[in-house]
Amino acid sequence: MNSLLKKNLVGVLVDGIDRFGATDMVLEAARQGRSLAVSAIAVHGVMTGVLDPAHRYRLNHLDLVVADGQPVRWALNLLHAVGLRYRVYGPNLTAEVLTRAAPEQIPVYFYGSTQEVIDLLCARLRQKFPGLRIAGAEPSRFGRIDAKTADGIAARIRASGARIVFVGLGCPRQEVWAYEFRDRLKMPILAVGAAFPFLAGTLRQAPTWMQDRGFEWLFRLYMEPRRLWRRYLLLSPAYILLVLCQWLGFRFCIEGEEPVSEILYG
């Protein structure tokens, strides 16, 4: 873990690194067969760490946490002058890693979402990335699992020959998964949120102009109002207020409460 990359954003450590630097780290870990827990987080992900000390502990003990959302990138640039020109968008990070993994014949595994999405995702990726080795894929169990079940999942992934795992369980379940499975798998784990349905074509993405200007949240709220209204109408204003407080000199503690490891998601 490179502590020089990590910046305190309202108590959550986010890495000032771009998509290409993150991909370099993932591929190097895959070649060496070592753990690297990665999460691409937006405002909602940051706020889960702010509001839950146990989850803040998890986020701050992942190896790499990248700025998926534009407001996260803007805040890093404002508070720490990291100079990030673009956000590290989960679907783009996924595509970049696959682009480079395919010619090296590095096998990948997909865990999460539904069977329908997983099937469409794998079919599309095989067309888009010729030579891509998909070692396996399985949908989420959509609930908590015990340590024995988690060990079984990890054993299947290891037995598949995979050297990189992509996880699409949604925030904060996927970060819990990455934190808990890191030592079980000993390979890079990328928690990439909605990348699965976006790349599978089952969920519409906001137009590029909306993404670039930070209005993706408005598009997603329009698409899924009942699921997302609390996230965007309550948490986003709170995030803006906290970032302003930090800009004015308020210090946010990065310490959290070590979580109970038996609480797992699958």
Q: Residue 53 is part of which domain span?
A: 3-265
For 160, other C-beta atoms within 10 Å of its C-beta total 17
Partners of 137 in beta bridges: 110
In this predicted structure, the answer to whether residue 26 has a pLDDT above a threshold of 90 is yes
Rounded to whole angstroms, the Cα distance separating 41 from 45 reads: 5
Q: How far is CA 131 from CA 11, 99, 108, 161, 238, in A?
A: 42, 10, 12, 16, 45
Partners of 55 in beta bridges: none
Strands 144-145 and 264-265: antiparallel
Whole-number mean pLDDT of the chain?
91
Rounded to whole angstroms, the Cα distance separating 16 from 102 reads: 26
Looking at the chain, the whole-number percentage of residues with pLDDT higher than 90 is: 73
* Residue 83 structure tokens: 């100079």
**Residue with tokens 């407001």, as numbered in its chain:** 71
Mean pLDDT of 106-113: 96
Residue-wise over 84-98: b if at least 16 C-beta within 10 A, else e?
beebbbbbbbbbbbb
Which pLDDT score is estimated for 126?
Answer: 95
For 262, other C-beta atoms within 10 Å of its C-beta total 11
Mean pLDDT of 10-27: 97
Partners of 64 in beta bridges: 38
pTM: 0.91
In this predicted structure, the answer to whether residue 27 has a pLDDT above a threshold of 90 is yes
- Comparing C-alpha atoms, which of 53, 41, 54 is closest to residue 14? 41
**Which tens digits make up the pLDDT trace of 192-219?**
988 999 999 887 777 787 777 777 777 7
The SS3 assignment for 65 reads strand
* Residue 100 structure tokens: 């480079």
**Which tens digits make up the pLDDT trace of 44-101?**
999 999 999 999 999 999 999 999 999 999 999 999 999 999 999 999 999 999 999 9
Residue-wise over 112-137: b if at least 16 C-beta within 10 A, else e?
bbeeebbebbbeebeeebeebbbbbb
Partners of 41 in beta bridges: 67
Q: How many domains does the chain have?
A: 1
For 182, other C-beta atoms within 10 Å of its C-beta total 19
